[in-house]
Amino acid sequence: MADWKQSHDVCPVPIRRGLWTLLVLSLSLLMHLSAHAPVRADQSDKLPDSVESPAEITLALVGDLLPEASWRTDHLPIRELYAEVRDQLRHADITFGNLEEPLTTSEEPTENKNPESVRAGRDFVLKASAPDVAAGLREAGFTIVSLANNHMMDYREQGLLDTLGALRQGGVLAVGAGRRREEAHRAAVVEVKGVRVAFLAFSDVVPSNYEAAAERAGVASSKETVDLIAAIKEARGQADLLVLSLHWGTQATHTATERQHELGRLAIEAGCDLVFGGHPHYLQGIELYQGKPIFYSAGNFQFPTRNPEAQESFIAMVVFRGRGVEKIDLVPVLISPQGQPRIVRGSSEGNRILEHVRDYSRVYGTRFVGGMIERKAALPATR
């Protein structure tokens, strides 16, 4: 047995040297042929079959939502309010708006607003008390709403807590307010098609004691710019896309303030992919800053008003591919005196609204083709 093993396991030295020589020559020949083989022109650009292009994500972004107005008693049911826009809103992967009032039955209004201003109609204390508002928002297509505004604390902490509870039960995410500052400043992350989209919401219009603090419920305030930037940088590390809602500016004007310009551009520089503004109740211009859109004011969306300028609105359909903006399509909307938004694309009313947005955006050099912002102008900047 020992002799058999030795005779089959041990190769004579001359044979082993010959095998090594043959192996070396074969490898040299293969390397030579590979170096001189013709290369197809498209070979260097061809990706493996397993590499997929980034997913396409569509956001529907709208302005202020006011299901019930303190100056009206004839409130439309929530389902009826969104009947004309529901299909468009539900077409998006994620739909976002600013909820301008708490959802509560509380009878204890804030003490932090001037009663004389409220009586004179220069300020308002708002709430929606119908029990089906949150569920109605979800049915209308809303994925997430901002609570960072100057009315969310109109019925104190209880009003905010009721709102958070109602939205949670209704299946709608909330951002921009909380039981403490940390919660109010925290991003809400929505994952769709494998893409994580983070939302932040801050208000630059903050009545006394409405701001969330270490031991106080309230809204996220951007009054201290450093707080806003810190929240952006933290959220940036949690998601593939970052959207910031800002409640800012001056009411009843189509012109953005220098403060809006400052905050919007700082937010883009800090890492936001899109900034979406509200509070003026009028439409304002759209700027592409470093290739990223800043909507200075989307105006109202579902909001009772008889003011013709405040009745003009749009749905911003924004398509992202990767971190780049693929398309921005403005769907013009006209709001009825009872607050019901209606799509008016292709009509004289719709054309007028789009023409106004083009006018307000001209100062930023933003180019439009119909209701679409030119794709070339919307390409992302290289970081």
91-128 tens-digit pLDDT: 999 999 999 999 999 999 999 999 999 999 889 999 99
Q: What is the distance in angstroms between the CA of the first residue and the CA of the last residue of the chain?
A: 72
Tell me the two tokens of residue 43.
């070979």
How many C-beta atoms surround the C-beta of residue 82 within 10 A? 26
Tell me the two tokens of residue 347.
């009509």
Taking the C-alpha atoms of residue 356 and residue 344, their distance in angstroms, rounded to an integer, is 14
Taking the C-alpha atoms of residue 143 and residue 218, their distance in angstroms, rounded to an integer, is 22
Q: Which residues of the chain have a pLDDT value below 70? A: 1-52, 375-383
Q: Nearest CA to 244 among 223, 271, 219, 225?
A: 271
Per-residue pLDDT, 48 = 43
Measured in degrees and rounded to the nearest 5, phi and psi for residue 315 equal -105, 120
pLDDT by residue (tens digit) across 23-36? 445 555 445 444 44
Model pTM score:
0.85
Beta strands 241-247 and 218-219, pairing class: unpaired
Per-residue pLDDT, 2 = 40
How many C-beta atoms surround the C-beta of residue 14 within 10 A? 7
Given a contact cutoff of 8 angstroms between Cβ atoms, the answer to whether 132 and 81 are in contact is no
Taking the C-alpha atoms of residue 5 and residue 9, their distance in angstroms, rounded to an integer, is 6
Given a contact cutoff of 8 angstroms between Cβ atoms, the answer to whether 205 and 247 are in contact is yes
Given a contact cutoff of 8 angstroms between Cβ atoms, the answer to whether 313 and 348 are in contact is no
Tell me the two tokens of residue 109.
């209004």
Chain-centre distance for alpha carbon 145: 10
Taking the C-alpha atoms of residue 292 and residue 267, their distance in angstroms, rounded to an integer, is 10
pLDDT by residue (tens digit) across 178-187? 999 999 999 9
CATH architecture of 57-378: 4-Layer Sandwich (3.60)
Given a contact cutoff of 8 angstroms between Cβ atoms, the answer to whether 228 and 248 are in contact is no
Taking the C-alpha atoms of residue 177 and residue 165, their distance in angstroms, rounded to an integer, is 13
How many C-beta atoms surround the C-beta of residue 311 within 10 A? 21
CA distances 98 to 37, 78, 87, 261, 268, Å, are 62, 16, 19, 20, 20
CA distances 68 to 101, 217, 218, 312, 359, Å, are 8, 23, 21, 19, 32
Tell me the two tokens of residue 72.
């009206």
CA-based torsion, 79, 84, 88, 94: positive or negative? negative
Integer-rounded Cα radius of gyration of the chain: 29
Helix residue ranges per DSSP H, the chain:
2-9, 13-36, 78-81, 86-90, 115-119, 133-140, 156-170, 181-184, 225-236, 258-270, 348-361
Residue given tokens 């769907």 in the structure block: 331
Taking the C-alpha atoms of residue 199 and residue 243, their distance in angstroms, rounded to an integer, is 5
Beta strands 188-192 and 195-203, pairing class: antiparallel
